[in-house]
Amino acid sequence: MTQDIFANSVNLTHLDDQGEAQMVDVSDKIPTVRQAVAKARVRMLPATFAVIQAGNAPKGDVLGTARLAGIMAAKQTSNLIPLCHPLPLQKITVEVIPDPQLPGYQIYATVKTKAETGVEMEALTAVSVAALTLYDMAKALEKSIQIESISLVSKTGGKSGDYSNSGF
List Cβ neighbours of 128 (8 Å cut-off, separation of 6 or more): 40, 73, 147, 150
* Whole-number Å distance between alpha carbons of 130 and 38: 12
The answer to whether 90 and 37 are in contact (CB under 8 A) is no
Distance in angstroms (rounded) separating the CA atoms of residues 29 and 117: 8
Distance (Å, whole) CA 96 – CA 66: 8
Rounded distance between C-alpha atoms, residue 9 and residue 13, angstroms: 10
Q: Which helix (H) or strand (E) holds 124?
A: helix 120-138
Residue 28 annotated to the active site: no
Catalytic residue among 25, 61, 99, 136: 136
Nearest residue to 127 via CA among 103, 102, 152, 145: 152
> Which residues are the active-site residues?
136
